[in-house]
Amino acid sequence: MHRALRAASVAKRGAYAFLCVLLLVAASCATQPSPPPPFEPEWRWEKAEASAQEFGIDRGQCQAQAMGVPGPTYFQIAGVFLGCMNGKGWQQVPK
């Protein structure tokens, strides 16, 4: 009889341990941080009397030109892209 009580006690401890682990897992899932908001630049491109279609064409051409730089670094790509957009009459203005 003594062994039966000991086995029941061990089973209870195992059930409590399982329950605690289950609650910890559930709590960690519930407290996951929400994803960050999408990146929004603090500026926009502007060109007098230009359409959104014209902007898309000019941006695509400038991106292609910037990616054509041999062995580019981020700053070289950005410099070529900005120079191209400015050369086409686009200016960066704050939002």
Would 49 be classed as within a structural domain? yes
Number of domains in the chain: 2
> Residue 2 pLDDT > 80, yes or no?
no
pLDDT at 30 over 90: no
**Is residue 68 domain-resident?**
yes
- Give yes or no: residues 25 and 56 share one domain: no
Strand partners of residue 30: none
Q: Residue 12: give the domain boundaries.
A: 1-32
pTM, whole model, 2 decimals? 0.56
Question: Which tens digit of pLDDT belongs to each residue from 33-88?
Answer: 667 777 777 889 999 999 999 999 999 999 999 988 887 788 888 999 999 999 99
Q: Are residues 21 and 57 in the same domain?
A: no
90 part of a folded domain: yes
Same domain, yes or no, for 86 and 64? Answer: yes
Non-local (6+) Cβ contacts of 47 within 8 A are 54, 55, 88, 89, 90, 91
The reply to whether 58 and 17 lie within a common domain is no
